[in-house]
Amino acid sequence: MIFENNICIDAKIRGGKPVIKGTRVPVDLILGKLAGGMTYEEVRKEYDITQKDILSALEYASLYIADEEIRVVA
């Protein structure tokens, strides 16, 4: 499955984790590196991806989280 935003999910690639299309770079790795303080440019160079790829990973994560439901148990 390929999302319009350049993210691919294929059971044969990284066990079905969402990755940048045409690579084996998972979305969660990109998010983790950015959260850890790496810049877009550092991530881009480290994993040989484009800024569009990084933005696609962020967009995918935001869409995924938007559908998440949190239930408070008191």
pLDDT digits (tens, 9 = 90+) for 22-57: 999 999 999 999 999 999 999 999 999 999 999 999
Amino acid present at 11: A
**38-47 tens-digit pLDDT:** 999 999 999 9
* Short-list 57, 65, 67, CA closest to 27: 57
CA distance 5 to 73: 35
Contact between 24 and 33 (Cβ < 8 Å)? no
Q: Is the pTM of this model over 0.85?
A: no
CA distance 26 to 8: 9
**Which CATH fold topology does 7-66 show?**
Arc Repressor Mutant, subunit A (1.10.10)
CA distance 23 to 44: 13
